[in-house]
Amino acid sequence: MLEIKDLHASINGKEILKGINLTVKSGEVHAIMGPNGSGKSTLSNVLVGHPAYEVTKGTVTFGGKDLLAMSPADRSHEGLFLSFQYPVEIPGVSMVNFMRTAVNEQRKYKGLPALTAGEFLKLMRQKREVVELDSKLANRSVNEGFSGGEKKRNEIFQMAMLEPKLSILDETDSGLDIDALRIVAEGVNKLKTPETSCIVITHYQRLLDYIKPDVVHVLYKGRIVKTAGPELALELEEKGYDWIKKELGE
């Protein structure tokens, strides 16, 4: 589904990613862990095409297509979704209007007719239940005045609406209390199918208790330095990153 080869990327001329290689197959859940500043968020931003980052080397194919050649919107239409670490507030743009535009642009891309107002509202109602999102929030401006937990739930709600093939959860657990974490994680699990994949970026094991990874990677100084099964996350939780740095001879 996703194949990253020797990916280098920089921001303001500073190289952050220094040769990432990663393959995610359909139905797989990958966890990416690593100390602060190792390039985890950069990786997710580069994949969704954030204009601040420049890809200097390497290739990324997504569903057999050249991902890096696509506009951010087309990457989304092709089925790539990022749950933002810091969801953006958009005053004056209602959730309904925002989501309707997003869903219908995706449908247009796929050659499907736009949803009618009635169909759309029905879809919103159904998907809201996935993350128990209050109907009041759905009527407000995008993320405006939402609590930290509500913002993250809103991300998963949008994921439910857009039904992506590959979702990247960028520190979706940060700022969540235990209940909100459970609701968000259950939401992600409900949306899981054998055809969809997930990359979970996190510092902590606790999210991985709910969303079970098939593979765990450690990103350090812009490279994936270790890849193993789910037991690696537990080991990191217990011992931190120093032992990995030692293995690397630092």
Partner 1 sequence: MKAEQQYIDLFTQCEALVCRKSAEVLNAPRAKAFADFERLGFPTRKDEKYRYTDVDKYFAPDYGLNLNRLEFPVNPYEVFKCDVPNMSTSLYFVVNDSFDKHVHPSAKLPEGVLFGSLKDIAAEHPELVRKYYGKLADTSKDAVTALNTMFAQDGVLMYVPKNTVVERPVQLVNILRADVNFMVNRRILIVLEEGAQARLLVCDHAMDEVNFLSTQVVEVFAGENSVFDLYELEETHNSTVRFNNLYVKQEANSNVLLNGITLHNGTTRNTVEVQLSGRGAEVSLCGMAIADKNEQVDNHTFIDHQVPDCTSNELFKYVLDGQAVGAFAGKVLVREGAQHTSSRQTNRNLCATREARMYTQPQLEIYADDVKCSHGATVGQLDEDALFYMQQRGISLKEARLLLMFAFVNEVVDHIRMDALKDRLHLLVEKRFRGELSKCRGCAICK
Left if phi > 0, otherwise alpha if psi is -120 to 50, otherwise beta: which for 159?
alpha
Which of 11, 96, 102, 225 is the binder for partner 1 (CB under 8 A)? 102
| Backbone phi, psi, residue 179, to 5° | -65, -45
Residue 75 C-beta: closest distance to partner 1, Å: 8
Q: In the range 45-64, which residues lie near partner 1 by CB under 8 A?
A: 48-51
Q: Inter-axis angle of helices 117-130 and 95-109, to 10 degrees?
A: 110
Identify the helix (H) or strand (E) that includes residue 48: helix 40-48
Q: In the range 173-192, which residues lie near partner 1 by CB under 8 A?
A: none
Binding flags for partner 1, 138-157, as an x/- string (CB under 8 A)? ---x----------------
Q: Which window, 7-15, 65-73, 199-207, 234-242, contacts partner 1 (CB under 8 A)?
A: 65-73
Rounded Cα distance between 46 and 72, Å, is 10
Residue 236 C-beta: closest distance to partner 1, Å: 29
Q: Which window, 23-31, 99-107, 215-223, 237-245, contacts partner 1 (CB under 8 A)?
A: 99-107
Q: Does 81 bind partner 1 (CB under 8 A)?
A: yes
**Looking at this protein, which amino acid is placed at residue 58?**
G
Q: Does 65 bind partner 1 (CB under 8 A)?
A: no
- Quick one: tokens of 44? 């997710």
- Quick one: tokens of 225? 């330095």
Rounded Cα distance between 105 and 113, Å, is 10
Rounded Cα distance between 174 and 180, Å, is 11
Q: Does 109 bind partner 1 (CB under 8 A)?
A: yes
Q: Does 82 bind partner 1 (CB under 8 A)?
A: yes
Rounded Cα distance between 140 and 232, Å, is 41
> Residues interacting with partner 1, by CB under 8 A?
48-51, 71-73, 75-77, 81-82, 84, 87-93, 97-99, 101-102, 105-106, 109, 141, 158, 162
